[in-house]
Amino acid sequence: DGGITQSPKYLFRKEGQNVTLSCEQNLNHDAMYWYRQDPGQGLRLIYYSQIVNDFQKGDIAEGYSVSREKKESFPLTVTSAQKNPTAFYLCASSIYGSDQPQHFGDGTRLSIL
Amino acid sequence: AQSVTQLDSHVSVSEGTPVLLRCNYSSSYSPSLFWYVQHPNKGLQLLLKYTSAATLVKGINGFEAEFKKSETSFHLTKPSAHMSDAAEYFCVVSDRNTGNQFYFGTGTSLTVIP
């Protein structure tokens, strides 16, 4: 069954700690994305990748980092430099092209201890 | 620049009555437009998409949307609301000028009253 898997579903971060959110897809999609969702603000783009070993910053990349070593995987690290990391994080993938819909994972909810 | 405005942050309807969720967009080129639905603590699911074919687009679960270029609108409708339609709905725009980026509206929360 094809889809996107995000893990963990819930994650807690201590002050000064980096945490990594996992995103794996088996849809053979070239493009992958990370979004942050806060109440009343819709989805904001953190990073996106159109091809392996390449990625671009989105609108709110500060305090985050990514890697794209494999087509199937696009992990997001929330660093200690991100001062307000509490949010719902969504990973998506798509076939390359502005007319292609995105497929979303079920998200990871990150909270600060 | 590309942008999306969802005109209502909250919409309440009675079960069995029509649903209208409004979306206006801004795009420099021929846009691609999408509606997604999100249930609590879940990812987004595609309802329908417009990509320069027929202006009236039919989607899943009885939803449809009409692309009106003159009004730069892409409103989502459903003839009869069901309790299971209660969710958050997002309108999204992209075009060939944005590369592979998509621009999301801030969402409309739909409440269905029994």
Average pLDDT over residues B69-83: 96
pLDDT computed for residue B110 by the predictor? 98
Residues 6+ apart with CB under 8 A from B5: B23, B24, B25, B105
- pLDDT at residue B2, rounded to an integer: 80
Query: What local confidence, expressed as pLDDT, does residue A81 receive?
Result: 87
Is B101 near chain A, with CB under 8 Å?
A: yes
Mean pLDDT of B3-13: 95
Supply A44's token pair. 């904001």
Higher-pLDDT residue of B71 and A2 is B71
**How large is the C-alpha radius of gyration of chain B?**
14
Contacts of B113 (CB under 8 A, 6+ apart): B12, B13, B14, B15
* pLDDT over 70 at B30, yes or no: yes
pLDDT tens digits, residue range A66-113?
999 999 999 999 998 888 999 999 999 999 888 889 999 999 999 988
- Give the pair of three-digit tokens for residue B114: 């029994």
Residue B18: per-residue pLDDT: 98
Q: What are phi and psi of A16, to 5 degrees?
A: 80, 5
Nearest CA in chain A to B102: A98
Give the pLDDT of residue A83: 86
Taking an 8 Å cut-off on Cβ atoms, the answer to whether B51 and A99 are in contact is yes
- CA–CA distance from B29 to each of A41, B26, B45, B54, B68 (Å)? 25, 9, 25, 17, 14
Per-residue exposure over A64-85, b if at least 16 CB sit within 10 Å of its own CB, e if not: bbbebeebbebbbebeeebeeb
The whole-number pLDDT of residue A70 equals 96
Which of B61, B31, B30, B29 is CA-nearest to residue B48?
B61
Of the pLDDT bands very low, low, confident and very high (cuts 50, 70, 90), residue A1 is: low
CA distance, residue B92 to nearest chain A CA (Å): 10
Mean pLDDT to the nearest integer, A21-44: 93
Q: What percent of chain B clears pLDDT 90, i.e. is strictly above it?
A: 78
A-proximal residues of B, 34-93, CB under 8 Å: 34, 36, 41-46, 49, 51-52, 90
Give pLDDT, residue A45. Answer: 94
Residue B49, pLDDT above cutoff 90: yes
Residues of A in contact with B102 (CB under 8 A): 33, 45, 98, 102
Collect all residues with Cβ–Cβ distance below 8 Å to B25 and sequence separation of at least 6: B2, B3, B4, B5, B31, B33, B72, B73, B74, B91, B93
Q: How far is the C-alpha of B100 from the C-alpha of B2, rounded, in Å?
A: 13
Q: Please answer whether residues A47 and A58 qualify as being in contact, where contact means their C-beta atoms are separated by less than 8 angstroms.
A: yes
Token pair of A111 as six digits:
């909270």
Residues of B in contact with A98 (CB under 8 A): 32, 94-96, 98-100, 102
Q: Report pLDDT for A49.
A: 95
Query: How large is the average pLDDT for residues B41-54?
Result: 90
pLDDT band at B29 (very low <50, low <70, confident <90, very high): confident
Strand B87-94 to B32-38 pairing: antiparallel
